[in-house]
Amino acid sequence: MVPDRESMRVALALLVLVAASSCSLPSGGIGGFSVTVLNTTEQSVTYFARGVGERPDSKAALGVSLAPGAADVDHWLYPDSSSGNRTASVYAVARTGELIFCRDLRWDDLKREFFQVRIVVGVMNCVRVP
């Protein structure tokens, strides 16, 4: 039995709805959002994120290696639009272990920068240095 056109349209609409609802868009609602971390330096780095709702075994906690110019997309739960002054901290170390970047970000910072964190050598804007 071959499905009719209307059944196919309904099935396609449901498929699109399910696929769209599983995407991580910068909504700030329950479920989190995607953040792109970009290594703008000329060296390989490993970045970490704290205060983003990370699990101990998540890539944000364990560290992500990025080649020069490379980017990584991560899923964060916090800070969100209802977090008030809650911040996330992103820091990066060079292969030598030297801390080269540290930045605290609030929800408004993330929105203003289109949910992108650019790793830049020498930026040290965090309250607690890791």
Secondary structure of residue 99 in the 3-state scheme: strand
Per the CB < 8 A criterion, the answer to whether 77 and 52 are in contact is: yes
Give the predicted TM-score (pTM) of the model: 0.74
Residue 58 lies in a domain: yes
Residue 12 lies in a domain: no
**Of 3-17, 39-53, 56-70, 115-129, minimum mean pLDDT range:** 3-17
Strand order across the beta sheet in which 116-119 lies = 71-76, 33-39, 116-119
In CATH, what number is assigned to the domain containing residue 63? 2.60.40
Closest CA to 24 of 14, 16, 34, 15: 34
Average pLDDT, the chain: 82
Residue 80 lies in a domain: yes
Residue 81 lies in a domain: yes
pLDDT digits (tens, 9 = 90+) for 31-85: 789 999 999 999 999 999 999 998 899 999 999 999 999 999 999 998 877 877 7
- Distance of alpha carbon 48 from alpha carbon 41, whole angstroms: 16
Q: How many domains does the chain have?
A: 1
Structural domain boundaries enclosing 57: 25-125
Alpha helices in the chain (DSSP H): 5-21, 59-62, 107-112
